Amino acid sequence: MTDLSFIHRYEPATDPGRPPLLLLHGTGGDENDLLGLGRMISPGSALLSPRGKVLENGMPRFFRRLAEGVFDEEDVRSRANELADFVAEARKAYGLEAPVAVGFSNGANIAAAMLMLRPEALSGAALLRAMVPLSHAPQAGLAGKRVLMISGAMDPIIPADNSKRLAASLSASGAEVRHEVLPTGHNLSQTDLQLLVRWFAGNGK
């Protein structure tokens, strides 16, 4: 759909007891990428899945980077605010509560930036292979928000201390953070899926 500020897919809820999900793809993905994952991890949830507006060698992303692991932080801030504005639009258009973000890689990083800059936009987040999006993040009010982070111990892109710093930063802002480190790389595994299913089963509205 293109009638809002981002090209996106939307699937209405079939279980009103499940939280809406904001699905945020990784580099080179699009609005279709994580729909199947969303259906598996929180059956019956409304699904809102936008396409990132930044192109890197033709591949959609949610913000610019200067090199792998080096972000254009001014763009991160601008794009996080733009995406939060889209969430507000979509909530009004579709009658949604604040969603739980489910982001992979670049999508997880923009979700983390949204938590830091626009905490009201999200009710929580599942951050898959996330890293610190802003070197000097503001202290956000994240009390009552649950955050699941799943990192890969053998991830060639994200140093272990980086993901630990992100978890600590979100915790310091009041979020209830669960950080799992799996014996895997950057790609998602069956264990990621199992952890997500269990986490969402305890999440509710």
Q: Which pLDDT value is given to residue 138? A: 81
- In a domain? residue 1: no
Q: Which pLDDT value is given to residue 158? A: 94
Question: How many structural domains are present in the chain?
Answer: 1
- In a domain? residue 43: yes
Reported as half-sphere exposure (CB side, CA atoms, 13 A), residue 123 has a value of 15
Q: What tokens appear for 106 in the block? A: 């670049």
pLDDT in tens, 61-120: 999 999 888 899 999 999 999 999 999 999 999 999 999 999 999 999 999 999 999 999
User: Catalytic: which of 30, 85, 171, 186?
Assistant: 186
pLDDT over threshold 90, residue 1: no
pLDDT over threshold 70, residue 205: no
Active site residue 105: yes
- In a domain? residue 62: yes
Active site residue 186: yes
- In a domain? residue 3: no
- In a domain? residue 92: yes
pLDDT over threshold 90, residue 192: yes
pLDDT in tens, 137-181: 888 899 999 999 999 999 999 999 999 999 999 999 999 999 999
User: Catalytic: which of 155, 173, 179, 192?
Assistant: 155
Task: Give pTM, 2 decimals.
Answer: 0.96
Confidence of residue 136 (pLDDT cuts 50, 70, 90): confident
Active site residue 25: no
- In a domain? residue 2: no
Q: What secondary structure, in 3-state letters, does the chain show? A: CCCCCCCEEEECCCCCCCCCEEEECCCCCCCCCCHHHHHHHCCCCCEEEECCCEEECCEEECCCEEECCEECHHHHHHHHHHHHHHHHHHHHHHCCCCCEEEEECHHHHHHHHHHHHCHHHCCEEEEECCCCCCCCCCCCCCCCCEEEEEEECCCCCCCHHHHHHHHHHHHHCCCEEEEEEECCCCCCCHHHHHHHHHHHHCCCC
Q: Which domain holds residue 88?
A: 8-201
Confidence of residue 2 (pLDDT cuts 50, 70, 90): low
CATH number at residue 74: 3.40.50.1820
Give start and end residues of each alpha helix (H) in 9-64: 35-41
Q: What tokens appear for 166 in the block? A: 């992100």
- In a domain? residue 109: yes
Confidence of residue 203 (pLDDT cuts 50, 70, 90): low
User: Catalytic: which of 42, 49, 105, 169?
Assistant: 105
